[in-house]
Chain A
Amino acid sequence: MIIEAHDLRKTFTTRRGRDSPREVEAVKGVDLSVAEGEIFAFLGPNGAGKTTTIRMLATLVTPTSGTARVAGHDVVTEAARVREKIGYVGQGGGVDENSPGREGLVLAARIGGMSRARARARSEELLAAFDLAELADRPVRTLSGGQKRRFALAVGLVNHPPLFFLDEPTTGLDPQNRANLWDEVRSLRERGTSVLLTTHYLEEADALCDRLVIIDHGRVVAEGTPAELKKEVAGDVVTLRLDRAAEARALLGAEPYVREVREEEDVLRAYLDDGEHNLPALLRALEAGGLPIRSISLDRATLDDVFLRHTGRSLRDAN
Protein backbone atom coordinates (compact mmCIF):
# COMPACT_ATOMS: atom_id res chain seq x y z
CA MET A 1 0.00 0.00 0.00
CA ILE A 2 1.45 3.34 -0.98
CA ILE A 3 -1.06 5.23 1.17
CA GLU A 4 -2.57 3.97 4.39
CA ALA A 5 -4.61 6.32 6.53
CA HIS A 6 -6.47 5.58 9.70
CA ASP A 7 -9.11 7.83 11.18
CA LEU A 8 -7.64 11.04 9.79
CA ARG A 9 -9.29 14.12 11.24
CA LYS A 10 -8.79 17.81 10.78
CA THR A 11 -10.48 20.56 12.75
CA PHE A 12 -9.83 24.16 11.78
CA THR A 13 -10.39 27.01 14.17
CA THR A 14 -11.65 30.06 12.34
CA ARG A 15 -11.69 33.53 13.75
CA ARG A 16 -13.84 36.15 12.10
CA GLY A 17 -13.80 39.66 13.49
CA ARG A 18 -14.92 39.80 17.08
CA ASP A 19 -16.86 36.56 17.00
CA SER A 20 -15.62 33.86 19.29
CA PRO A 21 -13.47 31.23 17.50
CA ARG A 22 -15.50 28.65 15.66
CA GLU A 23 -14.39 25.08 15.15
CA VAL A 24 -14.91 23.59 11.73
CA GLU A 25 -14.53 19.86 11.33
CA ALA A 26 -13.29 19.61 7.76
CA VAL A 27 -12.40 15.93 7.89
CA LYS A 28 -14.17 13.64 10.35
CA GLY A 29 -12.30 10.35 10.36
CA VAL A 30 -11.12 9.11 6.97
CA ASP A 31 -9.77 5.58 6.50
CA LEU A 32 -8.03 4.91 3.26
CA SER A 33 -5.72 2.55 1.49
CA VAL A 34 -4.30 3.07 -1.97
CA ALA A 35 -2.34 0.32 -3.69
CA GLU A 36 0.81 0.93 -5.68
CA GLY A 37 0.19 1.73 -9.32
CA GLU A 38 -3.44 2.70 -8.79
CA ILE A 39 -5.24 5.78 -9.97
CA PHE A 40 -7.33 6.58 -6.93
CA ALA A 41 -9.90 9.37 -6.75
CA PHE A 42 -11.65 11.34 -4.05
CA LEU A 43 -15.04 12.22 -5.47
CA GLY A 44 -17.25 14.67 -3.67
CA PRO A 45 -18.85 18.09 -3.81
CA ASN A 46 -16.97 21.30 -3.06
CA GLY A 47 -16.27 21.64 0.64
CA ALA A 48 -16.52 17.89 1.29
CA GLY A 49 -13.00 17.70 2.75
CA LYS A 50 -11.23 16.28 -0.30
CA THR A 51 -8.61 18.99 -0.50
CA THR A 52 -7.93 18.98 3.24
CA THR A 53 -7.44 15.21 3.13
CA ILE A 54 -5.07 15.33 0.16
CA ARG A 55 -3.16 18.18 1.85
CA MET A 56 -2.75 16.11 5.01
CA LEU A 57 -1.40 13.21 2.96
CA ALA A 58 0.97 15.56 1.09
CA THR A 59 2.35 16.94 4.43
CA LEU A 60 0.92 20.43 3.86
CA VAL A 61 -1.55 20.24 6.71
CA THR A 62 -0.95 18.48 10.02
CA PRO A 63 -3.80 16.16 10.98
CA THR A 64 -5.63 16.97 14.21
CA SER A 65 -5.67 13.25 14.93
CA GLY A 66 -5.26 9.93 13.18
CA THR A 67 -2.28 8.54 11.34
CA ALA A 68 -1.22 8.22 7.74
CA ARG A 69 1.71 6.52 6.09
CA VAL A 70 2.59 7.65 2.61
CA ALA A 71 5.20 5.72 0.60
CA GLY A 72 6.17 3.94 3.81
CA HIS A 73 6.67 7.02 5.98
CA ASP A 74 4.56 8.76 8.56
CA VAL A 75 3.23 12.08 7.26
CA VAL A 76 3.81 13.86 10.57
CA THR A 77 6.99 12.44 12.06
CA GLU A 78 8.75 11.71 8.76
CA ALA A 79 7.36 14.51 6.60
CA ALA A 80 10.73 15.14 4.94
CA ARG A 81 10.99 11.51 3.82
CA VAL A 82 7.45 11.63 2.46
CA ARG A 83 8.26 14.78 0.47
CA GLU A 84 11.09 12.97 -1.29
CA LYS A 85 8.60 10.45 -2.62
CA ILE A 86 5.74 12.60 -3.80
CA GLY A 87 4.83 15.05 -6.51
CA TYR A 88 2.05 17.50 -5.72
CA VAL A 89 0.03 19.77 -7.96
CA GLY A 90 -2.41 21.94 -6.05
CA GLN A 91 -5.45 23.76 -7.36
CA GLY A 92 -3.49 26.89 -8.20
CA GLY A 93 -0.90 24.95 -10.18
CA GLY A 94 2.06 26.30 -8.28
CA VAL A 95 4.30 27.36 -11.13
CA ASP A 96 6.31 30.56 -10.76
CA GLU A 97 4.58 32.96 -13.12
CA ASN A 98 7.48 35.33 -13.65
CA SER A 99 10.09 32.99 -15.01
CA PRO A 100 10.09 30.82 -18.10
CA GLY A 101 8.80 27.31 -17.53
CA ARG A 102 12.13 25.72 -18.39
CA GLU A 103 13.86 27.59 -15.54
CA GLY A 104 11.27 26.38 -13.05
CA LEU A 105 11.64 22.79 -14.23
CA VAL A 106 15.43 22.86 -13.96
CA LEU A 107 15.23 24.42 -10.49
CA ALA A 108 12.78 21.76 -9.29
CA ALA A 109 15.02 19.01 -10.66
CA ARG A 110 18.10 20.47 -9.00
CA ILE A 111 16.29 20.85 -5.66
CA GLY A 112 15.51 17.16 -6.03
CA GLY A 113 19.25 16.51 -6.15
CA MET A 114 20.06 16.25 -9.85
CA SER A 115 23.24 17.64 -11.34
CA ARG A 116 22.96 20.56 -13.74
CA ALA A 117 23.38 18.34 -16.80
CA ARG A 118 20.89 15.74 -15.61
CA ALA A 119 18.38 18.41 -14.59
CA ARG A 120 18.62 19.94 -18.08
CA ALA A 121 18.19 16.57 -19.76
CA ARG A 122 15.23 15.65 -17.56
CA SER A 123 13.57 19.01 -18.24
CA GLU A 124 13.91 18.60 -22.00
CA GLU A 125 12.44 15.12 -21.69
CA LEU A 126 9.37 16.45 -19.88
CA LEU A 127 9.00 19.46 -22.15
CA ALA A 128 8.87 17.07 -25.09
CA ALA A 129 6.49 14.68 -23.34
CA PHE A 130 4.04 17.47 -22.48
CA ASP A 131 4.47 19.23 -25.82
CA LEU A 132 5.81 22.35 -24.13
CA ALA A 133 9.19 22.80 -25.80
CA GLU A 134 8.08 25.80 -27.83
CA LEU A 135 6.60 27.56 -24.81
CA ALA A 136 9.47 26.84 -22.45
CA ASP A 137 11.23 30.19 -22.81
CA ARG A 138 8.19 32.40 -22.31
CA PRO A 139 7.29 33.65 -18.84
CA VAL A 140 4.63 31.33 -17.50
CA ARG A 141 2.23 34.24 -16.89
CA THR A 142 1.84 34.67 -20.65
CA LEU A 143 0.55 31.11 -21.15
CA SER A 144 -3.03 29.83 -21.24
CA GLY A 145 -4.66 27.94 -18.38
CA GLY A 146 -4.19 24.57 -20.04
CA GLN A 147 -0.54 25.27 -20.82
CA LYS A 148 0.14 26.36 -17.24
CA ARG A 149 -1.48 23.17 -16.00
CA ARG A 150 0.82 21.11 -18.21
CA PHE A 151 3.83 22.93 -16.78
CA ALA A 152 2.52 22.26 -13.29
CA LEU A 153 2.29 18.54 -14.09
CA ALA A 154 5.77 18.50 -15.57
CA VAL A 155 7.25 20.24 -12.52
CA GLY A 156 5.47 17.80 -10.21
CA LEU A 157 6.89 14.83 -12.11
CA VAL A 158 10.43 16.06 -12.58
CA ASN A 159 11.91 13.95 -9.79
CA HIS A 160 10.16 10.70 -10.80
CA PRO A 161 7.90 10.56 -7.73
CA PRO A 162 6.39 7.12 -7.11
CA LEU A 163 3.23 8.88 -5.91
CA PHE A 164 1.58 11.86 -7.54
CA PHE A 165 -1.09 14.05 -5.91
CA LEU A 166 -3.43 16.05 -8.11
CA ASP A 167 -5.92 18.36 -6.47
CA GLU A 168 -8.78 19.13 -8.88
CA PRO A 169 -6.52 18.71 -11.91
CA THR A 170 -9.10 19.53 -14.58
CA THR A 171 -11.15 22.26 -12.92
CA GLY A 172 -11.38 25.15 -15.35
CA LEU A 173 -10.00 23.24 -18.33
CA ASP A 174 -11.88 22.99 -21.60
CA PRO A 175 -12.96 19.50 -22.80
CA GLN A 176 -9.99 19.15 -25.14
CA ASN A 177 -7.44 19.91 -22.43
CA ARG A 178 -9.33 17.72 -19.98
CA ALA A 179 -9.14 14.75 -22.33
CA ASN A 180 -5.41 15.38 -22.83
CA LEU A 181 -4.85 15.48 -19.11
CA TRP A 182 -6.71 12.22 -18.64
CA ASP A 183 -4.40 10.63 -21.20
CA GLU A 184 -1.40 11.98 -19.35
CA VAL A 185 -2.63 10.57 -16.04
CA ARG A 186 -3.25 7.19 -17.65
CA SER A 187 0.23 7.13 -19.09
CA LEU A 188 1.56 7.74 -15.57
CA ARG A 189 -0.09 4.54 -14.44
CA GLU A 190 1.52 2.68 -17.32
CA ARG A 191 4.88 3.78 -15.98
CA GLY A 192 3.98 2.51 -12.51
CA THR A 193 3.30 5.86 -10.82
CA SER A 194 0.47 5.84 -8.28
CA VAL A 195 -1.92 8.76 -8.58
CA LEU A 196 -4.27 10.23 -6.02
CA LEU A 197 -6.59 12.88 -7.40
CA THR A 198 -9.59 14.80 -6.19
CA THR A 199 -12.46 15.73 -8.42
CA HIS A 200 -16.06 16.79 -8.32
CA TYR A 201 -16.66 15.59 -11.85
CA LEU A 202 -18.46 12.24 -11.99
CA GLU A 203 -17.32 11.48 -15.51
CA GLU A 204 -13.75 12.12 -14.52
CA ALA A 205 -13.81 9.70 -11.60
CA ASP A 206 -15.64 7.16 -13.74
CA ALA A 207 -13.40 7.38 -16.79
CA LEU A 208 -10.06 7.76 -15.11
CA CYS A 209 -9.72 6.00 -11.81
CA ASP A 210 -9.24 2.39 -10.78
CA ARG A 211 -10.80 2.89 -7.39
CA LEU A 212 -12.41 5.79 -5.61
CA VAL A 213 -13.94 6.94 -2.40
CA ILE A 214 -16.94 9.19 -2.29
CA ILE A 215 -16.46 11.88 0.34
CA ASP A 216 -19.23 14.00 1.76
CA HIS A 217 -19.22 16.25 4.80
CA GLY A 218 -15.74 15.08 5.81
CA ARG A 219 -16.54 11.38 5.74
CA VAL A 220 -16.03 8.51 3.31
CA VAL A 221 -19.49 7.33 2.35
CA ALA A 222 -18.56 4.71 -0.24
CA GLU A 223 -15.46 2.99 -1.55
CA GLY A 224 -14.76 0.69 -4.49
CA THR A 225 -14.13 0.52 -8.20
CA PRO A 226 -16.52 2.57 -10.32
CA ALA A 227 -18.07 -0.66 -11.60
CA GLU A 228 -18.54 -2.14 -8.11
CA LEU A 229 -20.11 1.02 -6.80
CA LYS A 230 -22.52 1.30 -9.66
CA LYS A 231 -23.41 -2.37 -9.39
CA GLU A 232 -24.43 -1.80 -5.79
CA VAL A 233 -27.05 0.62 -7.05
CA ALA A 234 -28.15 -1.31 -10.14
CA GLY A 235 -27.07 -1.76 -13.72
CA ASP A 236 -29.55 0.68 -15.20
CA VAL A 237 -31.78 3.50 -14.25
CA VAL A 238 -35.13 4.45 -15.75
CA THR A 239 -35.91 8.12 -15.33
CA LEU A 240 -39.60 8.96 -15.51
CA ARG A 241 -41.57 12.14 -15.53
CA LEU A 242 -45.23 11.69 -14.69
CA ASP A 243 -48.00 13.47 -12.85
CA ARG A 244 -48.80 11.03 -10.07
CA ALA A 245 -45.31 10.34 -8.87
CA ALA A 246 -46.19 8.98 -5.44
CA GLU A 247 -48.58 6.42 -6.89
CA ALA A 248 -46.10 5.39 -9.53
CA ARG A 249 -43.43 5.03 -6.90
CA ALA A 250 -45.52 2.59 -4.87
CA LEU A 251 -46.49 0.69 -7.98
CA LEU A 252 -42.96 0.33 -9.33
CA GLY A 253 -41.53 -0.48 -5.91
CA ALA A 254 -43.70 -3.61 -5.90
CA GLU A 255 -42.30 -4.89 -9.22
CA PRO A 256 -39.85 -7.76 -8.60
CA TYR A 257 -37.14 -6.58 -11.06
CA VAL A 258 -37.00 -3.04 -9.65
CA ARG A 259 -34.36 -2.72 -6.95
CA GLU A 260 -35.12 0.74 -5.72
CA VAL A 261 -37.24 3.75 -6.59
CA ARG A 262 -36.25 7.30 -5.73
CA GLU A 263 -38.32 10.40 -6.04
CA GLU A 264 -36.60 13.68 -6.77
CA GLU A 265 -38.69 16.78 -7.32
CA ASP A 266 -40.74 15.90 -10.42
CA VAL A 267 -38.53 13.00 -11.46
CA LEU A 268 -38.81 9.37 -10.52
CA ARG A 269 -35.77 7.13 -10.79
CA ALA A 270 -36.26 3.39 -10.88
CA TYR A 271 -33.11 1.31 -10.47
CA LEU A 272 -33.12 -2.07 -12.11
CA ASP A 273 -30.76 -4.61 -13.63
CA ASP A 274 -30.92 -5.55 -17.28
CA GLY A 275 -32.94 -2.51 -18.24
CA GLU A 276 -33.41 -3.39 -21.91
CA HIS A 277 -35.28 -6.55 -21.02
CA ASN A 278 -37.28 -5.20 -18.13
CA LEU A 279 -38.34 -1.90 -19.65
CA PRO A 280 -41.38 -3.37 -21.48
CA ALA A 281 -42.60 -4.97 -18.25
CA LEU A 282 -42.20 -1.65 -16.46
CA LEU A 283 -44.20 0.15 -19.14
CA ARG A 284 -46.94 -2.48 -18.98
CA ALA A 285 -47.13 -2.11 -15.22
CA LEU A 286 -47.55 1.66 -15.48
CA GLU A 287 -50.20 1.27 -18.14
CA ALA A 288 -52.09 -1.29 -16.08
CA GLY A 289 -51.98 1.15 -13.18
CA GLY A 290 -53.43 3.86 -15.40
CA LEU A 291 -50.46 6.20 -14.96
CA PRO A 292 -49.68 8.23 -18.09
CA ILE A 293 -46.00 9.06 -18.67
CA ARG A 294 -44.73 12.44 -19.81
CA SER A 295 -41.25 11.25 -20.58
CA ILE A 296 -39.06 8.24 -20.01
CA SER A 297 -35.41 7.39 -20.53
CA LEU A 298 -33.23 4.41 -19.89
CA ASP A 299 -29.58 4.99 -18.93
CA ARG A 300 -26.71 3.13 -17.39
CA ALA A 301 -26.37 3.94 -13.71
CA THR A 302 -23.65 6.55 -13.06
CA LEU A 303 -21.61 7.51 -10.05
CA ASP A 304 -24.16 10.24 -9.46
CA ASP A 305 -26.68 7.50 -8.72
CA VAL A 306 -24.20 6.06 -6.25
CA PHE A 307 -23.74 9.47 -4.69
CA LEU A 308 -27.50 9.96 -4.51
CA ARG A 309 -27.95 6.61 -2.82
CA HIS A 310 -25.37 7.32 -0.13
CA THR A 311 -26.02 10.98 0.55
CA GLY A 312 -29.65 11.44 -0.42
CA ARG A 313 -28.82 14.17 -2.91
CA SER A 314 -27.39 14.46 -6.37
CA LEU A 315 -23.76 15.53 -6.75
CA ARG A 316 -24.86 18.00 -9.41
CA ASP A 317 -27.08 19.67 -6.82
CA ALA A 318 -24.45 19.43 -4.11
CA ASN A 319 -21.85 21.35 -6.12
Chain B
Amino acid sequence: MLRHTTLFLGYELRATLRNPVWPLFGLMQPVLYLLLFAPLVANTTAGGTMGDTLRMFTPGVMMMIALFGSLFVGFGMINEIRNGYLERLAVSAVWRPAIVLGRTLRDMIVLVVQALLVIALATLMGMRASLPGLALMLVLMAATGLLASGLSYGMALALRDENGMSQIMQFFAMPLILLTGIMLPMSLAPDWMRAVAQFNPLYHAVEAGRALFDGDFSDGSIPLAFGLILVLSAISLRWSVSSMKRLAG
Protein backbone atom coordinates (compact mmCIF):
# COMPACT_ATOMS: atom_id res chain seq x y z
CA MET B 1 0.00 0.00 0.00
CA LEU B 2 2.60 2.47 1.15
CA ARG B 3 4.95 1.14 -1.52
CA HIS B 4 2.47 1.84 -4.30
CA THR B 5 1.84 5.33 -2.95
CA THR B 6 5.54 6.17 -2.94
CA LEU B 7 5.89 4.68 -6.43
CA PHE B 8 3.21 7.01 -7.76
CA LEU B 9 4.58 9.94 -5.77
CA GLY B 10 8.02 9.38 -7.31
CA TYR B 11 6.57 9.00 -10.78
CA GLU B 12 4.50 12.19 -10.51
CA LEU B 13 7.35 14.17 -8.95
CA ARG B 14 9.67 13.18 -11.78
CA ALA B 15 6.99 14.26 -14.24
CA THR B 16 6.75 17.63 -12.47
CA LEU B 17 10.52 18.06 -12.41
CA ARG B 18 10.73 17.41 -16.13
CA ASN B 19 8.60 20.52 -16.61
CA PRO B 20 9.28 22.73 -13.58
CA VAL B 21 8.24 25.74 -15.63
CA TRP B 22 4.54 25.21 -14.94
CA PRO B 23 4.55 25.26 -11.14
CA LEU B 24 6.88 28.28 -11.35
CA PHE B 25 4.51 29.94 -13.75
CA GLY B 26 1.70 29.20 -11.32
CA LEU B 27 3.68 31.18 -8.76
CA MET B 28 3.65 34.31 -10.90
CA GLN B 29 0.21 35.40 -9.81
CA PRO B 30 0.82 35.27 -6.05
CA VAL B 31 4.24 36.88 -6.56
CA LEU B 32 2.67 39.71 -8.51
CA TYR B 33 0.12 40.14 -5.75
CA LEU B 34 2.95 40.52 -3.26
CA LEU B 35 4.83 42.95 -5.46
CA LEU B 36 1.95 45.05 -6.74
CA PHE B 37 -0.88 44.68 -4.27
CA ALA B 38 0.88 44.71 -0.92
CA PRO B 39 2.35 48.22 -1.42
CA LEU B 40 -1.13 49.40 -2.38
CA VAL B 41 -2.64 47.98 0.80
CA ALA B 42 0.27 49.38 2.83
CA ASN B 43 -0.60 52.89 1.72
CA THR B 44 -4.28 52.55 2.61
CA THR B 45 -3.56 51.36 6.16
CA ALA B 46 -2.80 54.30 8.37
CA GLY B 47 0.60 54.07 10.02
CA GLY B 48 1.16 50.56 8.68
CA THR B 49 4.73 49.75 7.71
CA MET B 50 5.50 47.47 4.78
CA GLY B 51 6.52 44.71 7.20
CA ASP B 52 3.20 44.88 9.06
CA THR B 53 1.22 44.85 5.86
CA LEU B 54 3.12 41.86 4.52
CA ARG B 55 2.58 39.97 7.74
CA MET B 56 -1.13 40.44 7.23
CA PHE B 57 -1.09 39.90 3.51
CA THR B 58 1.26 36.91 3.06
CA PRO B 59 -0.92 34.29 4.83
CA GLY B 60 -3.70 35.21 2.41
CA VAL B 61 -1.42 34.84 -0.58
CA MET B 62 -0.37 31.41 0.71
CA MET B 63 -3.99 30.34 0.93
CA MET B 64 -4.51 31.61 -2.58
CA ILE B 65 -1.67 29.42 -3.84
CA ALA B 66 -3.12 26.47 -1.94
CA LEU B 67 -6.54 26.98 -3.48
CA PHE B 68 -5.71 27.93 -7.06
CA GLY B 69 -2.69 25.65 -7.29
CA SER B 70 -4.73 22.62 -6.28
CA LEU B 71 -8.28 23.21 -7.48
CA PHE B 72 -7.27 22.57 -11.08
CA VAL B 73 -5.05 19.51 -10.65
CA GLY B 74 -7.95 17.24 -11.60
CA PHE B 75 -8.11 18.50 -15.17
CA GLY B 76 -5.28 16.25 -16.29
CA MET B 77 -7.09 13.29 -14.82
CA ILE B 78 -10.09 13.70 -17.12
CA ASN B 79 -7.86 13.07 -20.10
CA GLU B 80 -6.34 10.08 -18.31
CA ILE B 81 -9.80 8.63 -17.89
CA ARG B 82 -10.54 9.20 -21.54
CA ASN B 83 -7.42 7.63 -22.99
CA GLY B 84 -7.79 4.61 -20.76
CA TYR B 85 -4.75 5.23 -18.56
CA LEU B 86 -6.66 5.05 -15.28
CA GLU B 87 -8.63 2.08 -16.55
CA ARG B 88 -5.44 0.22 -17.31
CA LEU B 89 -4.07 1.06 -13.86
CA ALA B 90 -7.34 -0.13 -12.33
CA VAL B 91 -6.96 -3.64 -13.77
CA SER B 92 -3.34 -3.90 -12.70
CA ALA B 93 -2.29 -5.23 -9.32
CA VAL B 94 -2.29 -1.71 -7.91
CA TRP B 95 -3.71 -0.57 -4.59
CA ARG B 96 -6.15 1.91 -6.13
CA PRO B 97 -6.07 4.65 -3.48
CA ALA B 98 -2.34 4.97 -4.22
CA ILE B 99 -3.19 6.44 -7.63
CA VAL B 100 -4.86 9.43 -5.92
CA LEU B 101 -2.66 9.55 -2.84
CA GLY B 102 0.56 9.68 -4.85
CA ARG B 103 -0.72 12.66 -6.80
CA THR B 104 -2.12 14.43 -3.77
CA LEU B 105 1.21 14.14 -1.98
CA ARG B 106 2.96 15.51 -5.05
CA ASP B 107 0.56 18.46 -5.09
CA MET B 108 1.29 19.16 -1.42
CA ILE B 109 5.04 19.06 -1.96
CA VAL B 110 4.76 21.47 -4.89
CA LEU B 111 2.63 23.78 -2.72
CA VAL B 112 5.10 23.83 0.13
CA VAL B 113 7.97 24.64 -2.22
CA GLN B 114 5.93 27.46 -3.76
CA ALA B 115 5.03 28.77 -0.31
CA LEU B 116 8.68 28.76 0.78
CA LEU B 117 9.53 30.88 -2.26
CA VAL B 118 6.75 33.33 -1.45
CA ILE B 119 7.85 33.55 2.20
CA ALA B 120 11.42 34.15 1.09
CA LEU B 121 10.27 36.96 -1.18
CA ALA B 122 8.11 38.53 1.54
CA THR B 123 11.04 38.34 3.95
CA LEU B 124 13.23 40.10 1.40
CA MET B 125 10.58 42.79 1.16
CA GLY B 126 10.78 43.36 4.89
CA MET B 127 8.38 40.91 6.52
CA ARG B 128 9.39 39.56 9.93
CA ALA B 129 7.26 36.65 11.11
CA SER B 130 7.40 34.12 13.95
CA LEU B 131 9.34 31.01 12.82
CA PRO B 132 7.22 28.38 14.60
CA GLY B 133 4.22 30.31 13.29
CA LEU B 134 5.55 30.02 9.73
CA ALA B 135 6.08 26.29 10.16
CA LEU B 136 2.55 25.76 11.46
CA MET B 137 1.17 27.90 8.65
CA LEU B 138 2.93 25.67 6.11
CA VAL B 139 1.15 22.68 7.64
CA LEU B 140 -2.19 24.46 7.52
CA MET B 141 -1.58 25.45 3.94
CA ALA B 142 -0.61 21.94 2.91
CA ALA B 143 -3.83 20.68 4.49
CA THR B 144 -5.78 23.30 2.54
CA GLY B 145 -4.06 22.10 -0.62
CA LEU B 146 -5.09 18.57 0.27
CA LEU B 147 -8.67 19.75 0.64
CA ALA B 148 -8.62 21.47 -2.75
CA SER B 149 -6.84 18.72 -4.67
CA GLY B 150 -9.08 16.05 -3.14
CA LEU B 151 -12.08 18.07 -4.33
CA SER B 152 -10.52 18.49 -7.73
CA TYR B 153 -9.76 14.79 -8.26
CA GLY B 154 -13.15 13.80 -6.87
CA MET B 155 -14.85 16.24 -9.19
CA ALA B 156 -12.81 15.05 -12.20
CA LEU B 157 -13.75 11.43 -11.50
CA ALA B 158 -17.41 12.31 -10.95
CA LEU B 159 -17.95 14.75 -13.83
CA ARG B 160 -15.43 13.55 -16.43
CA ASP B 161 -16.00 16.80 -18.28
CA GLU B 162 -13.51 19.69 -18.48
CA ASN B 163 -16.09 22.33 -19.32
CA GLY B 164 -18.45 21.54 -16.49
CA MET B 165 -15.56 21.26 -14.09
CA SER B 166 -14.00 24.62 -14.93
CA GLN B 167 -17.40 26.34 -14.59
CA ILE B 168 -17.97 24.85 -11.15
CA MET B 169 -14.45 25.65 -9.99
CA GLN B 170 -14.70 29.27 -11.11
CA PHE B 171 -18.07 29.56 -9.46
CA PHE B 172 -16.73 28.48 -6.09
CA ALA B 173 -13.27 29.98 -6.19
CA MET B 174 -14.20 33.65 -6.48
CA PRO B 175 -16.49 34.04 -3.43
CA LEU B 176 -14.24 31.73 -1.41
CA ILE B 177 -11.29 34.03 -2.05
CA LEU B 178 -13.16 37.32 -1.60
CA LEU B 179 -14.70 36.15 1.65
CA THR B 180 -11.32 35.32 3.17
CA GLY B 181 -10.31 38.95 3.46
CA ILE B 182 -7.18 38.33 1.45
CA MET B 183 -7.66 41.34 -0.78
CA LEU B 184 -9.11 43.67 1.81
CA PRO B 185 -9.56 42.97 5.52
CA MET B 186 -12.99 41.71 6.49
CA SER B 187 -13.12 44.47 9.09
CA LEU B 188 -14.11 46.73 6.21
CA ALA B 189 -17.01 44.46 5.30
CA PRO B 190 -20.65 45.04 6.29
CA ASP B 191 -22.06 42.89 9.07
CA TRP B 192 -23.91 40.45 6.80
CA MET B 193 -20.75 39.77 4.82
CA ARG B 194 -18.77 39.16 7.95
CA ALA B 195 -21.47 36.74 9.05
CA VAL B 196 -21.27 34.88 5.74
CA ALA B 197 -17.48 34.75 5.94
CA GLN B 198 -17.80 32.78 9.18
CA PHE B 199 -18.96 29.85 7.05
CA ASN B 200 -15.90 30.02 4.82
CA PRO B 201 -13.21 27.70 6.18
CA LEU B 202 -10.59 29.65 4.24
CA TYR B 203 -11.50 32.80 6.16
CA HIS B 204 -10.59 31.06 9.40
CA ALA B 205 -7.43 29.68 7.84
CA VAL B 206 -6.32 33.17 6.81
CA GLU B 207 -7.18 34.56 10.25
CA ALA B 208 -5.20 31.76 11.85
CA GLY B 209 -2.30 32.42 9.49
CA ARG B 210 -2.17 36.07 10.52
CA ALA B 211 -2.19 35.12 14.21
CA LEU B 212 0.55 32.56 13.56
CA PHE B 213 2.74 35.05 11.70
CA ASP B 214 2.29 37.47 14.59
CA GLY B 215 3.36 34.71 16.98
CA ASP B 216 0.03 34.97 18.80
CA PHE B 217 -0.44 31.26 19.47
CA SER B 218 -3.28 31.69 21.94
CA ASP B 219 -5.60 33.07 19.26
CA GLY B 220 -8.81 31.01 19.04
CA SER B 221 -8.79 31.07 15.25
CA ILE B 222 -5.81 28.68 15.18
CA PRO B 223 -7.42 25.54 16.65
CA LEU B 224 -10.63 26.40 14.82
CA ALA B 225 -8.86 26.65 11.45
CA PHE B 226 -6.80 23.50 12.00
CA GLY B 227 -9.87 21.57 13.09
CA LEU B 228 -12.00 22.74 10.18
CA ILE B 229 -9.38 22.30 7.47
CA LEU B 230 -8.18 18.92 8.70
CA VAL B 231 -11.71 17.51 8.93
CA LEU B 232 -12.68 18.89 5.52
CA SER B 233 -9.53 17.69 3.84
CA ALA B 234 -10.05 14.22 5.31
CA ILE B 235 -13.56 14.21 3.84
CA SER B 236 -12.43 15.40 0.41
CA LEU B 237 -9.54 12.94 0.32
CA ARG B 238 -11.93 10.14 1.22
CA TRP B 239 -14.25 11.20 -1.55
CA SER B 240 -11.54 11.21 -4.21
CA VAL B 241 -10.12 7.90 -3.03
CA SER B 242 -13.50 6.19 -3.02
CA SER B 243 -14.29 7.65 -6.46
CA MET B 244 -11.05 6.11 -7.65
CA LYS B 245 -11.97 2.75 -6.14
CA ARG B 246 -15.30 2.87 -7.94
CA LEU B 247 -13.67 3.91 -11.20
CA ALA B 248 -14.12 0.43 -12.55
CA GLY B 249 -15.46 -2.87 -11.39
Chain B residue contacts of A80, Cβ below 8 A: 93
Judging by beta carbons under 8 Å apart, are A84 and B7 in contact?
Answer: no
- Which residue of chain B lies nearest to A56 when distances are taken between CB atoms in the complex? B249
The answer, among A79, A111, A152, A156, for a CB contact under 8 Å with B249, is A79
Judging by beta carbons under 8 Å apart, are B93 and A98 in contact?
Answer: no
A60 and B90 alpha carbons, distance in the complex (Å): 8
- Which residue of chain B lies nearest to A92 when distances are taken between CB atoms in the complex? B84
Interface centre among B8, B87, B89, B93 (most CB of A within 10 A): B93
Is B79 interfacial (CB-CB < 8 Å)?
yes
- Which residue of chain A lies nearest to B90 when distances are taken between CB atoms in the complex? A60
The answer, among B18, B76, B83, B88, for a CB contact under 8 Å with A88, is B88
Chain B residue contacts of A95, Cβ below 8 A: 83, 85, 88
Instruction: Scan residues 69-119 of chain A and give those whose CB is less than 8 A from a CB of chain B.
Output: 79-80, 83-84, 86, 88-99, 103, 107-108, 110-113
Chain A residue contacts of B80, Cβ below 8 A: 96
Is B248 interfacial (CB-CB < 8 Å)?
yes
Is B92 interfacial (CB-CB < 8 Å)?
yes
Number of A positions contacting B (CB below 8 A): 33
Judging by beta carbons under 8 Å apart, are A83 and B76 in contact?
Answer: no
Interface centre among B76, B79, B82, B87 (most CB of A within 10 A): B87
Cβ contacts B77-107/A at 8 Å (1 or 0 each):
0011011110111111110000000000000
Chain A residue contacts of B84, Cβ below 8 A: 90-94
Judging by beta carbons under 8 Å apart, are A94 and B14 in contact?
Answer: no
Judging by beta carbons under 8 Å apart, are B248 and A60 in contact?
Answer: yes
Is A11 interfacial (CB-CB < 8 Å)?
no
Chain B residue contacts of A79, Cβ below 8 A: 249
A242 and B145 alpha carbons, distance in the complex (Å): 75
Judging by beta carbons under 8 Å apart, are B4 and A111 in contact?
Answer: yes
Number of residue pairs across A and B with beta carbons under 8 Å?
75
Chain A residue contacts of B93, Cβ below 8 A: 80, 83-84, 111-113, 159
Judging by beta carbons under 8 Å apart, are A86 and B91 in contact?
Answer: yes
- Which residue of chain B lies nearest to A96 when distances are taken between CB atoms in the complex? B85
Distance in Å: Cβ of A76 to nearest Cβ of chain B: 8
A112 and B83 alpha carbons, distance in the complex (Å): 21
Is B15 interfacial (CB-CB < 8 Å)?
yes
A95 and B248 alpha carbons, distance in the complex (Å): 17
Chain B residue contacts of A107, Cβ below 8 A: 7-8, 11
Chain A residue contacts of B76, Cβ below 8 A: 98
Judging by beta carbons under 8 Å apart, are A99 and B11 in contact?
Answer: yes
Instruction: Scan residues 1-31 of chain B and give those whose CB is less than 8 A from a CB of chain A.
Output: 4, 7-8, 11, 14-15, 18
A112 and B7 alpha carbons, distance in the complex (Å): 11
Is A61 interfacial (CB-CB < 8 Å)?
yes
Chain B residue contacts of A89, Cβ below 8 A: 88
A58 and B88 alpha carbons, distance in the complex (Å): 10
Judging by beta carbons under 8 Å apart, are B87 and A90 in contact?
Answer: yes
Given contacts A62-B249, A94-B89, A103-B11, 11 further A-B contacts (CB under 8 A): A58-B91, A59-B91, A60-B91, A86-B91, A89-B88, A90-B84, A92-B83, A92-B84, A95-B85, A97-B83, A99-B18
A-B contact pairs, 30 of them (CB 8 A): A58-B91, A59-B91, A59-B248, A60-B248, A60-B249, A61-B248, A86-B91, A88-B88, A88-B91, A90-B88, A92-B82, A92-B84, A92-B85, A93-B83, A94-B84, A94-B89, A95-B83, A96-B85, A97-B79, A97-B85, A98-B15, A99-B14, A99-B18, A103-B15, A107-B11, A108-B92, A152-B88, A156-B88, A159-B92, A159-B93
